[in-house]
Every structure is written in C-alpha cells, then in structure tokens.
Structure 1
Amino acid sequence: MSYLRFEKAVMTNLEESLRRELLRTNRSGAYSCSTLADCNTRKYHGLLVVPVPEIDDDNHVLLSSLDVTVIQHGAEFNLGLHKYQGNNFSPNGHKYIREFDCDKVPTTLYRVGGVLLKKEVVFQHYEDRILIRYTLVDAHSATTLRFRPFLAFRSVRQFTHENSTASREYYPIDNGIKTCMYAGYPDLYMQFSKKNEFVFHPDWYRGVEYPKEQERGYASNEDLYVPGYFEMPIKKGESIVFSASTSSIRTGGLKKLFDEEVEERSPRDNFFHCLVNAAHQFHKHEKNDDRYLLSGYPWFKSRARDTFVSLPGLTLAIDEQDYFELVMKTAEKGLREFMEENPLTVKIYEIEQPDVPLWAVWAIQQYAKHVGNARCIEMYGKLLQDIVKYIIDGRHPNLRLDDNGLLYTNGRDKAVTWMNSTANGRPVVPRTGYIVEFNALWYNAIKFCAALAQETGDTDFASDLERRAELCKESFVKTFLNEYGYLLDYVDGYMMDWSVRPNMIFAVAFDYSPLNQEQKKGVLDVCTRELLTPKGLRSLSPKSGGYNPMYVGPQTQRDYAYHQGTAWPWLGGFYMEACLKLYKRTRLRFIERQMVGYEDEMNYHALGTISELFDGNPPFHGRGGMSFAMNVAEILRTLKLLEKYTYQK
C-alpha cells in the first residue's frame, strides 16, 4: 500500500482535504503549491509561482490554477474547485475524486460517470515549468477536455483585483498561447502536447477567497483573470501533457520530458524518504552557481542562522557531503564579506546577527565528524581560525568578549536571537546581555578550534583557546546555573531571566559543554518535565509567566505567541542528541517513540514535510510555514544519530 495515499472519503471531505497541502519545487526558487483537492487556500498558493528579480525579491503567482472540464454528449463536468465569499465552493469538482496518491508524483484519479481521468503533476527541475499529464483511463463514448487557466500575475504578498490595466493580449504559439498581464512580468507560455483550439473569452472571476489568510487576520479575497479556454478531444488510453512556463518549449517533446522528470523522482514510500525529498526542496541554485538553502516555504528566503543550523541535517545526515561544500562555499563568501565590512554579493539574509558565525563553527564541526579532521582543516581550517579571531578581536558590531570569558550582546531594542518576533517595533522576548546559547556555542567553538589547532601544530593558538575556554566554563556556570538546577535564559547585570526556556538544551547537546554530567542531567530533566512535547520542545514552560501556546489569530496575537510556548521540532533534535550523549543506548526506545510524533505529520498539513512550529498544547496542531528547513534537518540528523547509537558496540 502507498505511503501517501488518500481514499475518496478523505478527498471529498473538504475539512480533511483542504487542510492538507502539497508542495512541489524546482530547486531554483520557484514552486507550485495548493491543497490536495486543488483548491487554493492561501495567497501563496499557485500552480506556477516564480521569482521575478526584475520586480522585487519576492515570488510571484503567474498561474493560479487550471480547471479541467470533462465534456460528453454535450454535458459538462468541471473538476475544478474554488472558494468564494460567503463560504461558497464552486464548481465542486472534488466530488469526482476517487483517490489521491503522492508516492512518486502527485496523482489524482477522477471518475465522472463512465469516464476515469488520471492527473499527474511534476515541476521540472531547474526550470520554471509545471507539467501536468492527463490520461483518459476509461471512457465509453467520445470525450472532450476543456482547460480554463486562472491568472494572477502578482506578488505572493499581494492580491489582484479586476482592473482596466491588465492586458488582454495573447499570441498563438506552438499548441498554445503566450500572454502577460502587466509590464515588467515575464510572458506566461501555456502549451499542450496535442493540437487544440483556444477560445478567447476573457472574464474576471470575482471574490475568490483564501481561508488560511482569514485565519491569520489578513485580507483574504481577490479576483482572477481567465483569458479563455483550450479545448481538445481525447481518446481512451491517450495522454495529454500541459506545460506552463516562463519560456516556450517544443511541444513534440513534452511527453518525453514528462517521463524523464518522473523517472528522476525518488519515491516517498516511507518516513525517511519523505524527509529526504523535503530536504531537497530547500535547495536553491542561482544562475551564477551560488548554492543556498531556503529557510522554508512558502514565504521564507535564505537566512544565515537557519542555513548553518540546517546544513548538517539537510546534507551530511543523508550522505550529501558535496552539497554541504557547495552551500558552505557560498556562505563562506558571505561571512567573509561581512567580517571584512564589504558589500554582500550573496543572497543570504540576517548575516549580521551575532550568533551566525558561532553557528557556522558548529556546522563545520559536524562536517569534521563526517569526513574527519584532516579534510575539515583542509577545507575550513582558515575560516574557523578567522571567525574565532574576529570575535576575540571584538570586530563584530554586536558581540563583545568580556574579561570573564563570556560573550555579551545587546538585544534590548532589536531581536538578535532565533527568538526574533517583534511587536510595535520591539522584541517580544528582549533577550540581551549574556545569552545562554550564545555562550554555549562560544565554549563549544573555542574547544573545537583548540583541538584542531593542536592537530596542526599551532600550539600557541591552541593554548590560548584552552585558557579562554577554562575562563568561559567557570563564568558560564557561575552566571547561568541557578539553585533549581536549570540555566537562566539570559543575564544582563542585575537583570536575569528565570523563565524556563529551551535555549539551555544546547549546553547539554554540544560536543563540548561547560557543564559537568550532573549539571547536564539536571538541565535535561527540567527540559523533559516542562518543555518536551511530541512535536519538539516548547519555547516556554507552562509554569513560566506569559505562557501562550496557541499560534492562532491575527498577526499581533501570533507575534506574542510565537516564542511563548509554541513547540519547535528543531529544538527537539538537540534535546534528543543530549539524551543520547548522556544516556546512550538506554534512551533509544524513548527517542524512537518521539519520532512517531513527527512521522504522523507526513500525512497532515504539507504532505511529506514538517511545519514551521506547533501549538504547545494538545493536539499540537502544525502552524506557520508549511515546510521548515531547521525542523526537517534536525529530524534527519536525529535519525542518523539513532542509527549510530543503535549499531554502536
């Protein structure tokens, strides 16, 4: 039986099918996304969503959807589905769905009377082209298909509405048309593998509504432009391929291209393969050969912290060392440009955040464990040394190394950690001063770099780092460890945050920790009792003031909940690593049970991937972005660690 398969009962129940989303990407920044029933519920949904760098840095929805109508004996059966204002759904094409399967490529089977129509979808790798194959599996009489494209030509952050500016012009091309609604946009090429008739019948479909935007407190409706429709006969057993792209294609090769793209797809037939597929969706390959990791979908770009946290899990954990090196090559260029105060030439955001170089060291440390210290020194030895000296010399604009060996950061007025939500221009969680994970990262970094320096014979540098590490260790315990056995979240003079937060788990999980075994166990116990959920660690304990576990409502309400009790799977990855380091094989079964909570997500929300965050209280609903790189990465890294400890003698 297929791993990602849904029967008619699920597909025709809109409460079930509309909350499940399907994401396809092309590894060049473009994507295609909708719900299982092909009804768009977000403004970010669309059949062809592409970057348009000539306009801005956002993605843009060109082709919102494509309705197909089956025509027999003059009777029309529209298989499309749209939600309109007033909770009206039309034309209710979901009632014809028999089953949906997503193991290889997304495949929907429709039955209309004696007609059995199969639809398969792929997004061509590295091209802004969506391909859809329609196969008439069965029919007892002459059958015609009619295709009606819904166009948007807008940013994913905006809506389009009926207007007189939109161009109605179109130009016939090989088995299709090209059109462009607004100046500055690329042409949209819509073509078929078979000769067809295009009927120009322009109209606006008004009041299309997106319930996910309603839930988030945003405007939620728009008008979509339909230039007309394509029509062609189809015989039993025949397949027709539709292509929508920003470039034309020779239509005689569409069927072959579709087969080739399907052949390249690896099946999503189990938990691990789903995660590998999700990991590849974060890849972004620029035309200048720069390689990036997107932080998530549908609204995230490439962010520096997310890149370094995600990199080991998305590459090394699935034995893709080459992509680690490609991404690190681009990221190193950005890091050096920042450290040398030169203009950035890479498209990595938030590289100025003070913990970014510290996470870069951690990512390289994972690389060293994968390939050995010798290779690591060859590839990144100079970079590691430059990062550590950069911090020691006090050249980072918001990272100061104090005489007590700890790093100090100003986060009062601007969010500087991963807990970065703001309200009214101010951080919701103003973490400032000595921040617990910054200093855990620093201790781990200087110990790791000292070990490498010792290997290369740079004993003076190694000795200096060891001396700094001893000072940092002593001050860390004195500053952060409290009488209740857990770590303060941050300390700034006489101000200290006693909230029980997950950031202390890093001091237990890292290879080099300033804590002794008993102290580590105490921290882990508190995390287990107060923060652990089936979806990762809560961002705040229910016993701490301000606990707000439900990430729902309008923007401001969600901003205040974002890091005040919601659960994050990527934090759970470090928690499970800490468990394994402290308790070894005795915790294997416990961690395997924890992984069940993530495997359940493969069939909910966005299929085969992990949401950005989860409510901190049962039933732990997935929220935010439909797919989040750090979460996928840490689950993959945990699976790798489980394998290591399972077979460890």
Structure 2
Amino acid sequence: MSYLRFERSLMTNLEESLSRELLRTNRSGAYSCSTIVDCNTRKYHGLLVVPVPELDEENHVLLSSLDVTVVQHGAEFNLGLHKYRGNNFSPNGHKYIREFNCDSVPTTIYRVGGVVLKKEVVFQHYEDRILLRYTLLDAHSSTTLRFRPFMAFRSVREFTHENSAANRDYQLVDNGIKTQMYKGYPYLYMQFSKGNEFVFHPDWYRGIEYPKEQERGYDSYEDLYVPGYFETEIKKGESIVFSASTSEIKTGGLLKLFQNEVDERNPRDNFYHCLVNAAHQFHNTKNGSECYLLSGYPWFKSRARDTFISLPGLTLAIDEVGYFEKVMATAGKGYKEFMREKPVTVSLSEIDQPDVPLWAIWSIQQYAKVVGDEKCLKKYGKFIFDILHFLLEGKHPYMRVEDNGLVYVDGKGKVMTWMNSTVNGRLVVPRNGYIVEINSLWYNALGFAARLNKIEGDAQFTETLEELSARCKESFVKTFLNDYGYLFDYVDGNMMDWSVRPNMLFAIALDYSPLTADQRKSILDVCTRELLTPKGMRTLSPKSGGYNPICAGPQMQRDLSYHQGTAWPWLGGFYMEACLKIYRRTRLSFIERQLVGYEDEMQTNCLGTLPEMFDGNPPFKARGAISFAMNVGETLRTLSILEKYTDII
C-alpha cells in the first residue's frame, strides 16, 4: 500500500486537496511548490522558482504554472486549476484527477473520457530546471496536448500585474522557445522532448487569487502573462517531457534525463524516508563549494542558530557525516571571521546572536558521538577552544562571562534569543540577563570542552574549564531553580521571569546538566503537564500570563502569538531526549506514541515534511513555513536516539 497516495474523492474535494502542498527543490536554492491539484494558493508558489543573485537575495517566480489541455475530436479538456476573485475556480481540471501518488515522484493520473494521462514531476538536482513527463496510458483516438505557460517573473515577496513594460518577444530554440519578460532576469527556456508548434497568442490572466496570503493579511491578487501555447500530438504509450529552465538543453536527452532523475530519488514509503527526503531539500550549495542548510521553505534563508541546531539531525542521524563536515566548514569559516571582527563572507544571517557559538559546540558534540572524541578533537578542537577563549576574553558584543561562572546577555531592546518576534520594533518576549537555555548550553560546552582537552591539551586549561564549570553549576541552581520545581526563564537583577516556558528543557536534555536527578525529574514533570502537545512543546504554559496559542491572522496578530503558546516539534525533540535520559527504557512506548503525532503530518500540510509550528490548542493546526529544518532535524535525531535505546533491549 502506498504511503503518500490519495484517491479521487480527496483530490476532487478542494477543501481537502488545497490544504495539501508539495515541495520539490534542486539543493541549490531553487524550488517548485504548489498544492497537490496544481492550484497555487500562495505568492510563494510556482512551478519554477529560482534565486536571481544579479537582482537581489530573494527567490523569483519565473514560471507560475503550466496548464495542459487534452484535445480530442475538436473537444478541449483543460486540466489546469486557478482560483480567481469571488471564490471562482477555473478551469476545474481537478475533476479529472483519478489518483495522486508521491511515494517516488509526484504522479497524477487524469482520466478524460477514454483518455488516461499520467503526469510526473522532478526537479533536476543542482540545476534550475523543472521536468514534467506526460505519458498517454490509454486513448481510443488521436490525441493532442496543448500546453499553456503562466509566467510571473517577479520576487516571491511581490505580485505582478498587467503592464506595458513586459517584453512579449520570444526566440525559437530546440523544440521550444526562450523568453524574458523584464531586463535583469535570466531567459526562461521552455522546451519539449519532441517537436511541437508554438502558437503566439499573448494575453494576461487577471485577478488570480492566493487565499493563503489573504489569511495572512497580505495582498492576494495578481495577473499572470501567457505568451501563447505549445501543441503536439501524443500516441498511446508515448511519453513527452517538458523542461522549464534558465538554460537551454539538448532536447534529445530529456527522456533519459528524466528517468535518471527518477532513479536517483529516495522513496517516501514510510515516516523515516519522508524525513530523509525532507532533510535533503534543505541542502543549499553555492559557488560550487559553500554548503548551507536553509532554515525552511518557502521564505527562510540560512540562519546561524537554525543551522547548528538542525545540522546533527539532518546529517549525522541519517549517516551523512560528509555533509555535516561541509556545512560546518562553511559555517565555521563565517564564525571565525566574526570572532576576528572581519567581514563575514558566507551567507549566514544572525551570526552575532549570543547562543550561536554554544549551539555550534553542541552540534560538534553530536559529531563526536558518531566519530569518537579523538577524531572530533583533531578536526574541531581548535575551533571549540577558539570559541571559548573568545567568550572568556569578553570579546562577544552581547555576552560576557561573569565571576559566578554564568554568562550574562546584555542586549536590551534587541533580539538576543530564538524567541525573536517583534511588534512595532519592540520585542514580544524580551529576555535579558541570565537566560536559562544559554546558560544550559554554556555549562554543557564547558563540560564537553574539558573532556576533549584532557585527551591532548594544556592541563592548566582543563583545570580552568573544570573550575569554571563547578562555579557555573552552583550558580545555575541558585539563580534559576525556584520553589515550584521548575526554572526561571531568565533572571536579570531583581527581575525573575516566572513564565513556564520550554527553554528550561535544555538544562535536562543536554549531556552535561547542572541539576540533580530529582531536580531534572521535577522540571520534566512540569513540562509534561503544562507544555506538552501531540505536535511538540508549547512556547508558553496556558497557566502563564499572555498565553496566545493561535498563530493566525495579520502580521501583528501572528507576531504577538509566535512564542506565546504555539507548539514547536524541534523542542519536542529535546523533551523526548530528556525523557529517555531520565527514565530510560521505561519511556520508550511513550516516545513512540508521541512521534505518531508527527507522523500524522506526513500526509497533511506539505507532504512528507514538518511545518514551522502548530497552534498550542486543539486541533493543533499547522502554521508558518511549510517545511522547517529544525523540526525535521530534531525528529530525525530523536528517531536515531530511540533506535539506540531500542537496540539495547
């Protein structure tokens, strides 16, 4: 039985099918994304969406969609689908869908009378080229296919509207055309694997509506330009490949290229394989050698904190040590430049955040578990110790090591932690001073560094680290542990934040904890009672002031709820790790049941991946980015940890 297969009844029910999205990437920053019925519902959707570095740092929708019309005996059956103003859908091609399957590559079966047409889609790896293969499975008379491209040539953050500046010129190329709507953009090459006729019939399709943008309080209408249509005959059993790209290709090899791409694809026939496929979609290779992890789709770029948190799960947990090392080489280069106060030459944002170096050390700590301490020390020891000296010498612009062994974050009014939402320039969750997860990471980093330094290092530096760690441990308990058995979220002088938040989890989940076993159990129990949901950990307890669990509506409304009760799966990863460390095998079945809540998401929202967050209250609706690296990474890491505990039995 197929894992990602949907029958006609679901596909033709737009209330069900329009909520399911499909993402494909080329691992170099470009992507293709729409709903499973090919009706774009976001301005970020498009058949070919690529970065155009000559213009800006954004992705750009070149080809929005491709409508296919089956022509038999002069009758036309358009298989496309668009939403227009007034809740009008046209041309309702979804009613011809009989089946959709995504276990290998996205495959849609259409039936129009006696015509059965199969469509398959792949995005060529490391090339800005989307490939669609159409196979005529059955037909009782001569059949013609007509292809009508809808072009946008715009940033994913903007809309296009009918205008006289759009260039209508085109040039014939091998089995297709190339065209460029505006100067500065690359040419869009649209080619077929067989001969065809292009009919120049320029027109604008006006008032196309994107309901997801409406929900988010943004403008939601645009016009798309159609230069004409391609037409070709197809015989029963024949396959035709359509290519849309920023470069020309020899069309004689399109059929073979498509099949080669299919053969390289990993199956998505279970929970784990879906997550592995999703992990690869975050890969982003630039300039031939720089390797990154995108933080999420469709609007995130590469962020330093997200990179280090998601890196172990997206690589080590799926036995891809090589890509870990490549990403760490790029990110490490950027952080070394930052520590030396040189211009950062890598495309990694928020590198100055105080917790970033500590997450980098944690990420390397996970690497050590795979390759061993000695190899880890040889490869990353200097980087780790450079970070610690950088911090101990007080060179970080926003964080300093205090005499009590804790680290103090001094950045009032600025975003200093992962809880970074702002409204009108003001932080929704202001956190300053001694911050619980940053000090948990700091204590963990001291313990790990001391262990590595003992292998081959300066004994005096090891003694310094151990003495500092002991002071940090004592101060941590005095500063953060309250009389109710959980940890303050942050402490700044006489200000103690009593809010019950998941940031205390790191003090009990990391390998080096400053807390006793009883203290860890008490904190875990509070998190279980007040923060745990089937979709991860709430960012704030319902019992705490300001609880706002529904992240919906206009931008300001979403910002106010972003970290005030929404549930995040990546936090659930650390929660489950803490459960296993504290209760070990007695919690295995509980963890397995918790992961069922994540697996349920494979067939909803964006297929085969996990979204950014969920509402904190039932029915826990998905919100934010459709695919989020930290959530996928931590779920994969949890599965890896769970497997190790299971193997012990």
Give the shorter-chain TM-score range: over 0.9
The residue number in structure 1 matching 2:463 is 463
| CA–CA separation in structure 2 for the residues paired with 1:515 and 1:393 | 27
User: What does 1:196-345 correspond to in 2, within 5 Å?
Assistant: 196-345=196-345
C-alpha distance after superposition, 1:66-85 (max 9, x if no partner): 00000001000000000000
| 1:172 counterpart SS class | strand
> Could you report, residue by residue, the CA deviation over 1:603-622 in whole angstroms, capped at 9, with x for unpaired residues?
00000000000000011111
Deviating runs (4+, > 6 A) in structure 1? none
- CA distance in structure 2 between the aligned counterparts of 1:616 and 1:414, rounded to whole angstroms: 26
Correspondence for 2:114: 114
Distance 1:415 1:472 in 2: 24
Paired residue for 1:500?
Answer: 500
1:511 matched residue in structure 2: 511
Rounded Cα–Cα distance in structure 2 between residues aligned with 1:528 and 1:219: 40
The DSSP-based 3-state class of the residue aligned with 1:499 is: coil
Letter in 2 for 1:218: Y
- d(CA) in 2 for partners of 1:241, 1:384: 50
Distance 1:366 1:53 in 2: 34
Runs of 5+ unmatched residues, structure 1: none
Spell out, residue by residue over 1:39-79, the C-alpha distance to the aligned partner (whole angstroms, 9 max, x if none).
00000000000000000000000000000000001000000
Give, in angstroms, the shift of residue 410 of structure 1: 2.4
SS of the counterpart of 1:23? strand
2:39 matched to 1:39? yes
1:172 corresponding residue in structure 2: 172
2: CA distance, partners of 1:315 / 1:375: 17
For residues 299-357 of structure 1, the C-alpha deviation after alignment (integer angstroms, 9 at most, x for no partner) is 00000000000000000000110000000000110010000000111001110111100
Native 8 Å contact 1:415 1:427 kept in 2: yes
Equivalent residue runs for 1:77-116 within 5 Å? 77-116=77-116
- Taking only aligned residues, the RMSD between alpha carbons, in angstroms, comes to 0.6
2:628 is aligned with 1:633: no
- Within 2, Cα distance between the matches of 1:373 and 1:648? 22
Deviation at 1:470, TM superposition (A): 0.6
* Secondary structure at the counterpart of residue 647 of structure 1: helix
Q: Distance in 2 between the 1:82 and 1:467 partners?
A: 65
Tell me the residue number matched to 1:417. 417
| 1:448-506 alpha-carbon deviations (Å, 9 max, x no partner) | 10111111142111100000001111111000000000000001111111000000000
Report Cα offsets for 1:248-272 as digits up to 9, x if no partner: 0000000000010000001100000
Q: Residue type of the partner of 1:333? A: K
How far 1:126 moved relative to its partner?
0.3
Partner AA of 1:574 in structure 2: F
CA distance in 2, matches of 1:193, 1:288: 29
Partners of 1:318 and 1:196 lie apart in 2 by 44
What is the distance in 1 between the residues matched to 2:414 and 2:223? 38
Contact 1:411/1:430 (8 A) holds in 2? no
Distance in 2 between the 1:626 and 1:130 partners?
20
Q: Number of aligned pairs?
A: 649
The one-letter code matched in structure 2 to 1:303 is: R
1:139 corresponds to 2:134: no
1:610-629 → structure 2 map (5 Å cutoff): 610-629=610-629
Supply the distance in 2 between the matched residues of 1:263 and 1:96 (Cα, whole angstroms).
28
Would you say 1:18 and 2:18 are equivalent positions? yes
Find the counterpart in structure 2 of residue 63 from structure 1.
63
Paired residue secondary structure (2:648): coil
Following superposition, the deviation at residue 517 of structure 1 comes to 0.4
SS in 1 for 2:432: coil
Q: Distance in 2 between matches of 1:160 and 1:496?
A: 50
Corresponding residue for residue 151 of structure 1: 151
**Residues 81-105 of structure 1 deviation map (CA, whole Å, 9 limit, x = unaligned):** 0000000000000000000000000
Q: Deviations over 1:94-126 (max 9, x none)?
A: 000000000000000000000000000000000
2-side partners of 1:358 and 1:410: how far apart? 16
Q: Which residue of 2 aligns with 1:525?
A: 525
1:542-601 Cα offsets, whole Å, 9 max, x none, are: 000000000110000000000000000000000000000001100000000000000000
Unaligned runs of 5+ in 2: none
Equivalent residue letter for 2:324: F
What is the match of residue 2 of structure 1? Answer: 2
Q: Distance between the aligned counterparts of 1:76 and 1:275, measured in 2?
A: 40
Residue type of the partner of 1:30?
A: A
TM-score by length of 1: 1.00
- Asked whether the 8 Å contact 1:82–1:89 carries over to 2, the reply is yes
Q: CA deviation at 1:288?
A: 3.5
Q: Contact 1:202–1:226 (CA<8 Å) still a contact in 2?
A: yes
CA distance in 2, matches of 1:404, 1:15: 57
Matched with 1:161 is 161
How far did 1:407 drift?
A: 0.7
Give yes or no for contact 1:96–1:111 (8 Å, CA) kept in 2.
Answer: yes
Write out aligned runs for 1:335-374 (5 A): 335-374=335-374
Distance 1:143 1:279 in 2: 40
Partner residue, 1:580:
580
The residue that corresponds to 2:556 in the other structure is: 556
* Alignment partner, residue 646 of structure 2: 646
Q: Secondary structure at the match of 2:506?
A: helix
Partner Cα distance (2:405, 2:324) in 1? 31
Residue identity matched to 1:375: K
Partners of 1:641 and 1:349 in 2: CA distance:
30
Letter matched to residue 125 of structure 1: H
Q: Secondary structure at the match of 2:275?
A: helix
- Which residue identity does 1:114 align to in structure 2? G
1:5 shift after superposition: 0.1
User: Any conservation in 2 of the 1:412–1:427 contact (CA below 8 Å)?
Assistant: no
1:596 corresponds to: 596
- Corresponding residue SS for 2:34: strand
Per-residue Cα deviation, 1:107-153 (whole angstroms, up to 9, x for no partner) = 00000000000000000000000000000000011110000000000
Partners in 1 of 2:302 and 2:263 — Cα distance? 29
Contact 1:72 1:141 in 2 (8 A): yes
The one-letter code matched in structure 2 to 1:379 is: K
Structure 1 contact 174–251 (Cα < 8 Å) conserved: yes
The whole-number CA distance in structure 1 between the counterparts of 2:170 and 2:287 is 29
Give the match for residue 76 of structure 2.
Answer: 76
Scaled by the length of structure 2, what TM-score is found?
1.00
Task: Confirm whether residue 479 of structure 1 aligns to residue 485 of structure 2.
Answer: no
| 3-state SS in 2 of match to 1:361 | helix
AA at the equivalent of 1:611: P
SS at match of 1:365: helix
Distance 1:349 1:62 in 2: 26
